[in-house]
Amino acid sequence: MSDIRFTDQHEWVRVDGDIATIGITDYAQEQLGDVVYVELPEIGKTIEAGDEAAVVESVKAASEVYTPVSGEVIDVNSDIEATPAGVNEDAMGDGWFVKLRMSDPAEFEKLMDENAYKEFVEGLH
C-alpha cells in the first residue's frame, strides 16, 4: 500500500522509500478545467517545501503547483508536457508532475492524510 498525503492547495504526495511523487488532486484538475500547458522544473534542481515546483495552465488561467516536501528533482513527467490533457484524465496517477528525492521525510508526515483531505474538500462546498 502506497502512502499518500495531501495539501490544502490540492497537491498530493506519494512516497516510496525516500522518493516522493507529486501531482495535483482530482478536485484540482476539475476546478482548473482543460489543462493546456504544463511547465516542469529542471532535473537536478533542489526545491524547498512551499516552493513553486511546476505551473499548470488551463484555457482560462495559470496556477502554480507548490511542492509540499523539500528535495532534489530526480524526474519529471514529460508525457504531460507533450499531452497536458493527461492531467485531466488521470490526475492522481499517470498525470503526476515531479519526483523528488526527499531531504526531510518528516515534512511528509505533517501533511493531511486521505480522510483529512476528503473532509477538507467537503468543507469547501
Partner 1 sequence: MSEPAVASDKLKTTPLHALHVELGAKMVPFAGYDMPVQYPDGVLAEHLHTRGAAGLFDVSHMGQAFLTGPDHETTARAVEALTPGDIRDLAPGAIRYTLLLNDKGGIRDDLMVTRTLTDGVLFLVVNAACTDADFAHIAANLPSGVALERLEDRALIALQGPKAAEVFARFASEAATQSFMTARDLSVAGVPCMVSRSGYTGEDGYEISIPAKDAAALTKKLLAEPEAKPIGLGARDSLRLEAGLCLYGHDIDETTTPIEAALGWAIGKRRRAEANFPGAKIILGQISNGAPRKRVGLLPEDKAPAREGTEIFAGSNRIGIVTSGGYGPSVGGPIAMGYVDTGAAKPGTAVELLVRGKGRAARVAAMPFVEKRFYRGN
Closer CB to partner 1, residue 38 or residue 102? 38
Q: Could you tell me which of 67, 77, 99, 83 has the C-alpha nearest to residue 35?
A: 83
Stretches 51-59, 70-78, 92-100, 115-123: which one binds partner 1 (CB under 8 A)?
A: 51-59
Which residues inside 92-111 make contact with partner 1, applying CB under 8 A?
A: none
Would you count residue 9 as binding partner 1 (CB under 8 A)? yes
Rounded to 5°, angle at Cα 96 from 50 and 99: 60
In the block, residue with C-alpha cell 524526474: 75
CB of 33 to partner 1, least distance (A): 5
- Residue (9 or 101) nearer to partner 1, CB: 9
> 40, 47, 49, 63: which one contacts partner 1 (CB under 8 A)?
63
Query: What is the Cα 1 distance to its own chain's centre?
Result: 19
Spatial distance between the Cα atoms of 112 and 110, rounded to a whole number of angstroms: 7
> Among residues 19 and 36, whose Cβ is nearest to partner 1?
36
CB of 82 to partner 1, least distance (A): 10
- Cα separation of 50 and 121, whole Å? 20
Backbone angles phi, psi at 57, to 5 degrees: -125, 135
Residues lying near partner 1 in the complex (CB under 8 A) are found at: 9-11, 24, 28, 31, 33-34, 36-37, 39, 55, 57-66
